[in-house]
């Protein structure tokens, strides 16, 4: 088996067991849903990173505009 397959399988099992504990569902049901949980978690993290980047760029841009107005450029 490829290394990526093993890693994805391990992540799916861990996500399933974590979801079973967190959502208080049976571990069998959580393991069936593990791939969906992994992809859903990835989507949530990707959106959080995207919005963090947007906020950081907005703050940096507003600082540059203030600095430019003070120097008169």
pLDDT tens profile 26-57 = 878 877 777 787 788 889 999 999 999 999 99
Q: Is the dihedral of CA 20, 25, 28, 31 positive or negative?
A: negative
CA distance 62 to 68: 10
* pTM for the whole structure: 0.54
CA distance 66 to 73: 11
Phi (first) and psi of residue 33, to 5 degrees: -90, 0
Classify the phi-psi angles of 2: left when phi > 0, otherwise alpha if psi is within -120 to 50, otherwise beta: beta
């Amino acid at each position: 088996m490829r290394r990526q397959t093993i890693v994805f399988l391990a992540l799916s099992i861990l996500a399933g067991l974590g979801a079973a504990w967190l959502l208080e569902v049976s571990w069998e049901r959580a393991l069936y849903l593990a791939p969906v949980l992994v992809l859903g978690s990835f989507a949530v993290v990707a959106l959080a990173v995207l919005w963090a980047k947007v906020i950081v760029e907005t703050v940096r841009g507003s600082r540059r505009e203030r600095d430019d107005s003070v120097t008169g450029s």
